[in-house]
Amino acid sequence: MGLIQNVLAVIVVLGLLITFHEFGHFWVARRCGVKVLRFSVGFGKPIWSRVDRHGTEFALAAIPLGGYVKMLDEREGPVASSQLDQAFNRKSVWARIAIVAAGPIANFLLALVAYWALFVAGTTTVVPVVGDVTPDSPAAEAGLHSGQEITAIQGQPVRSWDEVNLKLVAAIGLNGELTVATRDEGDSHATNHRLMVNDWLVGQDPPQPLPSLGVAPWRPVLPAVVARVVEGDPAAEAGLKAGDKVLAADGDSIADWPALVSLVRDNPGQTLSFEVERDGRRQTLNLTPGARTLDDGTQIGYIGAEVAPVDWPQKWQREIRYGPLEAVGQAATRTVEMTALTFDAVRKMVVGLISPSNLSGPITIARIAGDTARSGLESFISFLAYLSISLGVLNLLPIPVLDGGHLLYYFIEAVRGRAVSERTQAVGLRIGLALVGTLMIMALYFDLMRLW
């Protein structure tokens, strides 16, 4: 069932993003007087199509991993003299720039609309309150302590742990002071803490900003109560069931779920005697955690069980909601921030500050799409907005075969007064195909490594 949900979720997400992207090209091309021959969502043989009164074929193809808008163009075939004024290559360079840029712009507009809808409907976030601070860590040395609310990172206000993490990730590569502002409960005065960092998060895969500072978010106590067991995994094989509360293991009491997780991780392949409470009665189960090998060769244990959720205290929850007009500005700000962060992440990946193993392909997108769909509409729409921005940024990279490569050629033409030679474009096309192909292979490889 999870696989089916993931597949359906990724089809919906990619279908929306591709349709909006290609519609941007299509809509502006029509406004510029260019004849559109085909509007296709997907590649390969069409499984559905129809032709409108303008002679444009709208098609839905079998491979939902892209799309295209095919326009009348003398470079791709003969054009009747009566239709030369509708050919893409006959339009001014500024019209061609507008048509090509419209695709990525449509993705940014989709993200803006998604964020606007979230801000109008209201989003519930967790207040970024510090839980534990690791002794001798950068956070401890700077004076952070449990119970403080983080209010700003590098002078920029934050209202949730999501925003805290985004601001910290944006500082990857920093050498020097990382400023964190906090305030104690009931206090309106904020205190600035200066954390000294060197090559901040460089080489971490994936980046772990909070553990690197020595900060753990405050969380309510999670009793060691099982919500679900995975069929075929050690917990199910040993007879552990949903609703069971683990009281002790090998005679030592289990205080909470993290204590149980720590015990299991430290004992791969070792049989443990679990004392559990089920329906008000105690019983003993013998459970042998399975073993997983990490990248560094160490083994950790697992049992295949999920913790039962607990209610978060109301005082640590925060609802972010705006009126329809105010939400426009907030959505635009969020879209610009996420776009800038994505461009900066690409730059840092190119210069080596971020590992290329953070690239994600269709498998990871499908998994996250399915997870966010199961988490609720708010998570799904947030993921849709972020992915739409990522698609827009990717297409604006100055790589031939992408929209950004075409824009580069057209801007050069606008400056020089003449088009880039066909030979140069052909060489660029081969280079672009090689780069994009390499990126796709790398993303798929890292997808498979995460899956494995």
**299-325 residue pLDDT tens:** 888 888 888 777 778 888 888 899 999
pLDDT of residue 386 exceeding 70, the answer is yes
Instruction: Report the 3 state secondary structure along 204-225.
Output: CCCCCHHHHHCEEECCCCCCCE
Question: By three-state DSSP, how is residue 323 classified?
Answer: coil
CB 339 within 8 Å of CB 392: yes
Instruction: Report the 3 state secondary structure along 36-53.
Output: EEEEEEEEEEEEEEEECC
What is the predicted pLDDT for the residue at 57?
Answer: 92
CA 448 to chain centre: 17
Rounded mean pLDDT of 100-126? 93
Mean pLDDT value across the chain: 87
> Parallel, antiparallel, or unpaired: how do β-strands 156-157 and 176-183 relate?
unpaired
Residue with tokens 């403080």: 148
Q: Which pLDDT tens digit goes with each residue over 200-237?
A: 888 776 778 888 899 988 888 888 888 888 888 888 88
Token pair recorded at residue 39:
């509007």
- Number of residues written out for the chain: 452
| CA dist., res. 4 & res. 281, Å (int) | 38
Handedness of CA 218, 224, 230, 234 (dihedral sign): positive
pLDDT of residue 402 exceeding 50, the answer is yes
Partners of 40 in beta bridges: 59, 68
| CA dist., res. 326 & res. 334, Å (int) | 13
- The domains located in the chain, with CATH, are 93-122+330-452 (no CATH), 130-217 (2.30.42.10), 226-308 (2.30.42.10)
Q: Is 22 a catalytic residue?
A: yes
| ω into 223 cis (within 30 of 0) | no
How many other C-beta atoms lie within 10 A of the C-beta of residue 50?
10
| Amino acid type, 57 | E
Question: Which span out of 188-192, 204-208, 325-329, 426-430 was modeled with the highest average pLDDT?
Answer: 325-329
357 pLDDT band (50/70/90 cuts)? confident
C-alpha gyration radius of the chain: 27
What is the predicted pLDDT for the residue at 436?
Answer: 84
Q: Which pLDDT tens digit goes with each residue over 35-74?
A: 999 999 988 888 899 999 988 999 998 877 788 899 999 8
| CA dist., res. 136 & res. 150, Å (int) | 19
pLDDT of residue 149 exceeding 50, the answer is yes
pLDDT of residue 82 exceeding 90, the answer is no
152 pLDDT band (50/70/90 cuts)? very high
How many other C-beta atoms lie within 10 A of the C-beta of residue 128?
25
CB 99 within 8 Å of CB 25: yes
pLDDT of residue 115 exceeding 80, the answer is yes
CB 170 within 8 Å of CB 344: yes
Task: Tell me which of 22, 149, 163, 275 is the catalytic residue.
Answer: 22
What is the predicted pLDDT for the residue at 108?
Answer: 96
| CA dist., res. 17 & res. 156, Å (int) | 30
| CA dist., res. 72 & res. 112, Å (int) | 31
Tally the C-alpha atoms within 13 A of residue 327's C-alpha that lie toward its C-beta.
Answer: 17
What is the predicted pLDDT for the residue at 28?
Answer: 96
CB 366 within 8 Å of CB 372: no
364 pLDDT band (50/70/90 cuts)? low
What is the predicted pLDDT for the residue at 1?
Answer: 47
| CA dist., res. 38 & res. 56, Å (int) | 5
How many other C-beta atoms lie within 10 A of the C-beta of residue 197?
17
Can you list the alpha helix ranges (DSSP code H) found in 122-185? 138-141, 161-170
Q: What's the Cα-to-Cα distance from 345 to each of 6, 75, 198, 350, 413, rounded to whole Å?
A: 26, 36, 18, 9, 29
pLDDT of residue 281 exceeding 50, the answer is yes
pLDDT of residue 103 exceeding 80, the answer is yes
Residue with tokens 């349709």: 19
pLDDT of residue 429 exceeding 90, the answer is no
Cβ contacts of 61 within 8 Å, gap of 6 or more: 40, 41, 42, 43, 44, 45, 46, 47, 67
pLDDT of residue 84 exceeding 70, the answer is yes
